[in-house]
A and B are shown apart, each in its own frame.
Chain A
Amino acid sequence: MSKNDRRGSNVRPGPAAPQGVPTAEPDWDEETVPGLDLDDPLNEFDRVTVIPDLPSEQYVKSVMASAEDSRVPAPGSAPPPPPPPPLSPINTLAPEDYFSLDSDPPASPGNADSTAPYDAIQPNNAPTARPSPPPLPARSPGVPRQSPSLSGLELDLDSIGKLEAEPRLPLEGSRLDPRDPVLELSFDETPTKPAFKEADAGPLGDMKDRYAMGDFSGALVIAESILEANPEDIEAPRYAQSCRDVLTQMYSARLGSLDQVVAVAVPSDQIRWLTLDHRAGFLLSLIDGGITVDQILDISGMTRLDALRIMYQLLDQRVISLSS
């Protein structure tokens, strides 16, 4: 596969820029970027560009179907078949449609084969903690940043809604509705490249890049760090809110019905040998055999997003189980 082929097929289709949001730099060309070898298997940027030029919901559906048996192929083995052609419109995916907790654990980063199909979207690649805020010093304009660690967590965001490259301003005084079209992707004929305007260099640009590439956790961390440094920033709150909404939807979708009753799946004398933090420990302590996911979210004392993320991690690690 040539670099041109890769770019032609893998650059994610972008939406029209929303009002009030800077548009993407039209003449940016990844081929001219020094130090970025797209064939380097360890190049994380490369891994995120394996997204095919398909409507995201169909792409994710196919990927998630394959994630049921998401083992890294043995060297020399035949590549998996390409994703199926577009089907009729798909409704919201139930988690079990595309996601199995029985998937094999991901290959260790050192052995990761970037050419392995959809390696990055294995469910177990979901981060267990939020990424650290990126270093604040701005890079030279026009030089793309080394892409953040993009895991499947961010990528399968597509499974719950189509994405815009940049969030729209929510209406004043209104809360973002998860169904708000802010989460929808308009499939333009011309793909939009990530924006690297001079003004967007530094954390702001990094945040937008991550957002555009589906790294909502990373984008959120940066947005929050920007807001911490400059509470008056106009763009960061929009991005932060949009990221929160998308992530909340994503974790909700993965947990399934929030009316499910939660049970601890690990014997009580073995809990202390798990690798958890005090927040996860707190949520575990709330489980009394009759409490539902929704009730835990209500009484967690955390933001809904944080509680959802931890609940998902506990489920993923099989520390808890859910039942109707």
Chain B
Amino acid sequence: MERVIGIDLGTTNSCVAILEGDTPVVIPNRGGYKTTPSVVAVTEAGKRLVGHIAKRQAITNAENTVYAAKRLIGRKWNSPQVKNAIMTSSYTIVEGPHADVRIKLRDKTYSVPEISSMVLQEMKIVAEDYLGEPVKKAVVTVPAYFNDNQRQATKDAGAIAGLDVIRIINEPTAASLAYGYGKDMDRTVAVYDLGGGTFDISILEIGAHGVFKVISTTGDTFLGGEDFDARIIDWLVTGFQEEHGIDLRQDRMALQRLRDASEKAKCELSGVRETEINLPFIISTGRNEALHLQRTLARPTLEKLTEDLVERTVDICKQALADAKLDVGEIEDVILVGGMTRMPAVQTAVTGYFGREPNKSVHPDEVVAMGAAIQGAALVQDRQDMILLDVTPHALGIMTFGSYFEELIPQNTTVPTSRTKVFTTSRDDQTAVKILVMQGESKRADENELLGEFILTGLRRAPKGHVEIEVTFEINTDGIVSVHAKDMENGQAQSIQVTATSGLTQDEIKNMMTNAKDYLVERRVDEHFEAAKQEAETLIAEIERLFPEIERVVGSADFGRDAIAKARSTVERTRAAINAKDTALVKEQVDQLSRTQRMFKGVVSRG
């Protein structure tokens, strides 16, 4: 049966998992890490870097390193989030041809789905390396608050990466699945997700037969582990400045080291009471000497430094419960998600607020990807008891007089669905009406997402309120929304089909897919060459080590001299093949080298 991977495409880190038997397994990357930073960079030489390697140069090559692309995916150019990102990002954000967002790296401009596709492609490669077979299908998770455009953009990113995204599911839902909820269980849970860059709290009602209802979700897209790191950096920089009068922030290399060391210290303090931060040669003084930074950070100091950040998450939890119209006592379980929830102070705060110990049975970094993998397996195995119902992530409706939002299809409605409502004209002799199709939960239309608009003309002239217009919303199984408006008296009708868009055309997506495929082929070719080269070099080293002994043993005989000459010639041919980057020839030579090595070893052992 075809394997489906589950991918947690995070703001700061991503994770991939697969179901093996009945157990979800997180797949480590080549470095042995189970999460991969969602960071993409382009080096001065034009080389693409993804993951840890990209993160480790994020400050020294800040202008060409994209992080937190998830904050931008599926957003329109004029959205407040994009404006905010323009102000705060070190990379250049420009307007795309369809009022979408593009990112400039070196001399090339990339769409946001394209950037995210690079991370997804990396996760696909990690899975393929582990499984030893190509992977085509995936379930990808997104925050519960993502609208249709953001979800579509994530799907497009998957397509560009060569993945068929068979389902997009909400992160808190995936986490709940991994914790074992959903099997004839009926309870209300809170999913507290404190990741590297964002904080989300979701209140879910889990019912029997796989019904996961997101009652409320809220959060802060600029609150996460990086803020905790920043506090440690501040502490280190201030201390160093007091001691030496040098501001380490002015030096990018120093700042990169501070960031790496701060993150490491923060993680260590979840397990130990204190840790040493040791950064030798952190900065040169200009007097031909370099200074070292060495400080000990204790857990209470870290907790003091980040107290307000933890408090902020609790305030947001209060807001989420208020939105859900629930009392804290009605929460039956609290699920922790995200690496930051390993911090003891965070766990204490959560326990304090919810009045119960949070569930920590699954690794918080991996739980979302595991849930996605569980869902992926259920979809291909057609296990109806485990398949989540596809629901509308947000309410759908139209804008009415006074800029109000009138809801037609409520949030969490199972699709396919259809709803109808009747509206009237808002002024006398009105002959046309503009229908603005929107998505969101706010009563104020301007706070919701505009999906599309059309005008219904030819209305009968009459006093306001006398002409009735019937508006029908339909969502089919593919999630395509159709909106019809009809003058109930004269039958005059108009309609629009709203398809979620990432801001990319089909042609653009096709081109990007081709580019991504080319990149993958190139990368695989390089990898094959490197593997063959390494094998050849190891054999050459071994053969050359044996040459003196071979010459001693058989060098005096004609056949011995012939064998040695042949071996030397094979070594030279292999070196030439390596220099020419000829993978096939190197592989061919490896066989000969192996034979030579075996023969030499045999001679030496007998001699």
A residues near B, CB below 8 A? 91-92, 257, 259, 268, 271-272, 276-282, 284-286, 290-291, 295, 298-301, 303-304, 324
Contacts and interface: CB of A to CB of B under 8 A. Distances in A.
B49 A284 contact: no
A129 to B, nearest CB: 9
Nearest to A289: B31
A299 B257 CA distance: 12
B281 A276 contact: yes
A277 B280 CA distance: 10
B526 to A, nearest CB: 10
A317 B184 CA distance: 66
A271 B280 contact: yes
Given A285-B279, A300-B60, 17 more contacts: A259-B530, A259-B533, A268-B278, A271-B280, A272-B292, A278-B283, A278-B284, A279-B284, A282-B254, A284-B280, A298-B43, A299-B49, A299-B56, A300-B57, A301-B256, A324-B534, A324-B537
Nearest first, the 7 closest Cβ-Cβ pairs linking A and B are A281-B281, A301-B60, A299-B57, A282-B253, A272-B280, A278-B284, A298-B43
B57 A298 contact: yes
Interface string B25-52: 0000001000000000001110101000
A254 to B, nearest CB: 17
A257 B534 CA distance: 10
Contact of B282 (A257, A278, A290, A291): A278
A300 B57 CA distance: 7
Contact of B251 (A91, A272, A278): A278
Contact of B45 (A276, A277, A280, A298): A298
Contacts of A278: 251, 253-254, 281-284, 290
Given A272-B280, A278-B282, A301 B61 contact: yes
B31 A301 contact: no
A257 B541 CA distance: 14
Contact of A298 (B31, B47, B257, B282): B47
B209 interface: no
Interface size class of B (residues with CB under 8 A): 35 or more
Contact of A299 (B31, B61, B281, B541): B61
A305 B363 CA distance: 43
A314 B43 CA distance: 23
Interface string B270-311: 000000001111111000001010000000000000000000
A281 B282 contact: yes
Contacts of B45: 298, 304
Contact of B290 (A277, A291, A324): A277
B214 to A, nearest CB: 40
Interface of B: 31, 43-45, 47, 49, 53, 56-57, 59-61, 251-254, 256-257, 260, 278-284, 290, 292, 530, 533-534, 537-538, 541, 575, 579
A257 B290 contact: no
A259 B283 CA distance: 29
Contacts of B281: 272, 276-278, 280-282, 284
Nearest to B49: A298
A160 to B, nearest CB: 14
Contacts of A280: 281
A299 B290 contact: no
The interface centre, meaning the residue of A92, A286, A301 with most chain B CB atoms within 10 A of its CB, is A301
Nearest to A271: B280
Nearest to B60: A301
B282 A286 contact: no
B285 to A, nearest CB: 9
Given A279-B253, A285-B279, A299-B61, A259 B534 contact: yes
A311 to B, nearest CB: 15
Contacts of B253: 278-279, 282, 301
A317 to B, nearest CB: 13
Contacts of A299: 43, 49, 53, 56-57, 60-61
A259 B538 CA distance: 13
A281 B541 CA distance: 32
Contacts of B57: 298-301
A284 B53 CA distance: 15
A324 B43 CA distance: 24
A282 B280 CA distance: 9
Contacts of B47: 298
A92 B580 CA distance: 13
Contacts of B292: 272
A294 B171 CA distance: 37
A96 to B, nearest CB: 10
A270 to B, nearest CB: 10
B33 to A, nearest CB: 10
Contacts of A277: 281, 284, 290
B251 A324 contact: no
Contacts of B256: 282, 301
Contacts of A284: 280-281
Contacts of B541: 324
A295 B534 contact: no
B290 A282 contact: no
A276 B280 CA distance: 9
A89 B481 CA distance: 74
Contact of A295 (B53, B61, B257, B537): B53
25 contacts: A92-B579, A259-B530, A268-B278, A272-B280, A272-B292, A276-B281, A278-B251, A281-B281, A281-B290, A285-B260, A286-B56, A295-B53, A298-B47, A298-B53, A299-B49, A299-B53, A299-B56, A299-B60, A300-B57, A301-B60, A301-B61, A301-B252, A301-B253, A304-B44, A324-B541
Contacts of B534: 259, 324
Given A257-B537, A276-B281, A282 B53 contact: no
Contacts of A291: 53
B174 to A, nearest CB: 30
A280 B292 CA distance: 13
Nearest to A286: B56
A58 B338 CA distance: 62
A277 B278 CA distance: 16
A187 B403 CA distance: 84
A127 to B, nearest CB: 15
A235 B49 CA distance: 36
A259 B31 CA distance: 15
Contact of A324 (B44, B49, B59, B538): B538
Nearest to A291: B53
A278 B246 CA distance: 14
A91 B256 CA distance: 41
A300 B43 CA distance: 10
A281 B56 CA distance: 15
Contacts of A92: 579
A282 B256 CA distance: 9
Contacts of A91: 575
B309 to A, nearest CB: 27
B140 to A, nearest CB: 28
B260 A276 contact: no
